[in-house]
Amino acid sequence: MFPLVPIRAPDFDVEVALAYATAANFTGKPVYGTHAGCWLHHDAAMLLARTVKLARPLGLRIRVLDAFRPAEAQWVLWNHTPDPGFLADPRRGSPHSMGAAVDLELIDGSSGQVLDMGTAFDEFTPRSHHGNQDIPAEAQRNRHLLMGLMTTAGWDFYRNEWWHYQMFNARAHYPVLSDSVLGADGMMPSAA
């Protein structure tokens, strides 16, 4: 069985806005090529489906900012900003590169407005940590709400990033995958 499944809006009722497919990320340029897609390991995709189901009665939707990140992309991010507090060292492997992690935010289901989380995605400061109280109370509530949805659905969280959730013990259960696993659907630009 192919280890990764596509995460598309109609199949999962999510909004997909891959930050690394655009220049609107901390590197200031696209990391993924023009054919970037959203992929997760089958096991993680089932957890995402559970999260969507839990969020729906609350009038909330999920916006996926990153999911499977090929090992080559992890090296691009690490070479730009080798900060082990916010990025997994590619020599160790990132749960993203296993298809076992997702970066996301909550959006209001009726207005499409992003809920305030106190910082932007990929703000590599202590203000991005779970439990940080130097952000507005509403943003703290929104982070707790996101964590509640995600952990109830079966995800583990990373304490330094309010947006990052991963499968428990991913490194013990899933291999690091290269862009080549996607074949013709590869995400990396040819020059990478």
Catalytic residue positions? 161
Helices assigned H by DSSP within 63-113? 71-80
Of 35, 46, 36, 41, whose CA–CA distance to 11 is shortest? 46
SS3 category, 157: strand
Cα–Cα distances in Å, from 128 out to 3, 10, 44, 137, 183? 31, 30, 23, 14, 35
